[in-house]
Every structure is written in C-alpha cells, then in structure tokens.
Structure 1
C-alpha cells in the first residue's frame, strides 16, 4: 500500500485541499491501494518516516530534507492539478 502525507505550514485547510487533489491524481494514475493523511509541516517532521511520499509547498521542502527516505515533492502552485499529477507520476 502506498502511503502519502501532505503538509502545509499550519496543517489546517491547505494540507486538506492538497490531500484531496493528490487523492484524485493518484486515482487518475491508476493506483487504488493507497492511504493519505494531512498535517502541519511541524507534525510532518515526526511522521514523514512512515510515508512513501511527502508533499509540501516548495518553500517548506527544506524543513523535511534529511528526515525521511520518502520521496519529497515540493509544489510551486498548491492548487495546480496538473503540477500535482505530473510530479506524482514522476515518482510512482
């Protein structure tokens, strides 16, 4: 099972929106056996090791480097479905 974590600065609305967009993109890429969660980047520092892919805003990627062996995906535009799908496809 593929495990994906999405995170934003505060772990409130943005990470949940990214999570929903990521779930849609993963399904479009033909993957049905996955689990996803969302949180703040602070929480992600402790949780990231338990995930295969961690997705955050590009400016937050440095917060997680070296804390996990997961694929780290930094997004330039958190609302861009095409960017999300393209970057996920590159690591799947």
Structure 2
C-alpha cells in the first residue's frame, strides 16, 4: 500500500479538502486497496514518511526545490486533475517497485 500526505500551509482547510477529494477519487478509480491519504501542515508533512504528497500549485516550487515527489492540482476541488495525477503516480510507483524486484 502506498501512502500520500495532502498538504497545506496550516494543515486544516486545504489539506483536509485535498484529502477528502483524493479519497473520493481513489474510491471511484477502484484503487482504495493501494493508497491511503493523510492530511497535515507543511512543516509536519516534511518529517513524515510517505510515498508522495498531494499539493496545490502554489506549493509546487517548494516541493520541486526539495526534490519531493508530488501530485499537484490547481484547486483542491479539481477531481479530474487529481484522478489523472493519482493514476500516473500509482503507475510510476508500481513500475519502480516492479523494477526493484528484478
């Protein structure tokens, strides 16, 4: 199972909406058995182990600078972008996992 952390500056509003949107997308995509999502503030999230982060575009530079893996969306309510990003991320993680087994 993969772990994602939905992140915002304070860990209350946007990150909670991102988590709820991601959980809805994950259920609709039929991958709830593959991915769990938590939400928290940026400072806490950086110290927690996870496979990737779910963020809004305004945090993109921070995560790119730190070479952290992430899925980003323009708004926390952008279900299509979230589904697309989650699908690509899970595929990428699966491919890495499969390559490590070889």
TMscore range, shorter length:
0.7 to 0.9
Inter-partner Cα distance in structure 2 for 1:67 and 1:53: 11
Matched residue count: 88
CA RMSD of aligned residues (A): 1.6
Inter-partner Cα distance in structure 1 for 2:43 and 2:63: 9
Kindly name which structure, 1 or 2, has the bigger radius of gyration based on alpha carbons: 2
Instruction: For structure 2, list consecutive stretches of 5 or more residues without a partner in the other structure.
Output: 91-102
TM-score by length of 1: 0.82
Deviations 1:23-72 (A, max 9, x none): 1111222212232110011222222xx1112111112122233364xx31
Instruction: For structure 1, list consecutive stretches of 5 or more residues without a partner in the other structure.
Output: none
TM-score by length of 2: 0.75
Higher helix share: 2
